[in-house]
Amino acid sequence: MYKSWWKILGAVLVVYSTVFGFLSSVPALPILHQSIRNLYFHVPMWFSMIVLFSVSVYHSIKYLSNNNEEHDMKAVQSVNAGVLFGVLGIITGAIWAKFTWGQAWSFDVKQNFAAIALLLYFAYLVLRNAIDEEQKRAKIAAIYNIFAFPMMVVLLFVLPRLSDSLHPGNGGNPGFNAYDLDSHMRMVFYPACLGWILIGYWIYTLLFRVSSLEKNKTA
């Protein structure tokens, strides 16, 4: 029990943020209206994705230094979990954009670069499928993973700042903190981020355990 406290915390926080995300008061704004509640669901997806991809890079570096198979499995399963969160982030963003920007996929830099960042990780997964030999696959995939990570950082954090974007917090648009004058939204937003990150990490550990069980069964 003492080891699973963070799973319980994650579950409680996600339930809390979902319930209060729909019920708590939000500032009344034109155009945005109630869609500002998407903040509690869309943004935590990206935070969780970044955390999971960082975990993956950490394990890839570990794999290159000590060639332990377990690290390779951890790297790929955290990418799998991270891609799941990335896709959810794109979907929640597109739904929100449909109602506020009028189009699910407008030519917005943030959207485009987020999609390309996901392509990087799909390429990583395809690369793994292309190689049969296990140790070679682990090594080459780890190298590509480390090589791709700084590119993802450039795509998500550097390039969108160079051009205009409709995305809140970019291109001169105010982020949510400009609206959140009485800190009601922060009370839900920060727990939501922490909760989803913990849930993402939990999903990754589950994926890892399933894959290592499958491996032991065949071996």
Partner 1 sequence: MQLIKEVKYLIGKEMLLEWRSKYALNGVVLYVVSTVFVCFLSFVSLKGVTWNALFWIIMLFASINAVSKSFLQESKGRQLYIYTIASPLALIISKTIYNIFLMLLLTLIALGFYTLVFDYVPEDMGLYLVATILGSLSFSTIFTMISAIASKAGNGGMLMAILSFPVIIPVITVLIKLSKNAIDGLDRSVSLDEIGILLIINVLVAVFTLMLFPYLWRD
Q: Which residues of this protein are in contact with partner 1, per CB under 8 A?
A: 64, 113, 116-117, 119-120, 123, 126-127, 130-131, 136, 139-140, 142-144, 146-148, 150-151, 154-155, 158-159, 162-163
Give the integer Cα–Cα distance in Å for 211 and 52: 17
Quote the least distance from Cβ 96 to partner 1, whole Å.
24
For residue 63, the Cα-to-chain-centroid distance in whole angstroms is 23
Quote the least distance from Cβ 145 to partner 1, whole Å.
10
Q: Is the Cβ of residue 117 or residue 193 nearer to partner 1 in the bound state?
A: 117
Give the integer Cα–Cα distance in Å for 161 and 167: 11
Sequence-separated (6 or more) residues with CB below 8 Å from residue 19: none
Quote the least distance from Cβ 85 to partner 1, whole Å.
18
The answer to whether residues 77 and 208 touch, using CB atoms and an 8 Å cutoff, is yes
Q: Is the Cβ of residue 163 or residue 177 nearer to partner 1 in the bound state?
A: 163
Give the integer Cα–Cα distance in Å for 133 and 143: 16
Q: Is the Cβ of residue 11 or residue 116 nearer to partner 1 in the bound state?
A: 116
Q: Taking phi first (over 0 means left), then psi (-120 to 50 degrees means alpha), and beta for anything else, what does residue 106 get? A: beta
Q: Is the Cβ of residue 154 or residue 206 nearer to partner 1 in the bound state?
A: 154
Q: Is the Cβ of residue 84 or residue 142 nearer to partner 1 in the bound state?
A: 142
CA distances (Å), 145 to each of 48, 58, 71, 137, 207, in order? Answer: 18, 10, 13, 12, 19
Question: Which class for 191: exposed (0-12), middle (13-18), buried (19 or more C-beta within 10 A)?
Answer: buried
Tokens representing residue 191 in the block: 């727990």
Quote the least distance from Cβ 150 to partner 1, whole Å.
5
Quote the least distance from Cβ 57 to partner 1, whole Å.
11
CA distances (Å), 2 to each of 11, 13, 131, 154, 183, in order? Answer: 15, 18, 41, 39, 33
Q: Is the Cβ of residue 51 or residue 118 nearer to partner 1 in the bound state?
A: 118
Quote the least distance from Cβ 90 to partner 1, whole Å.
15
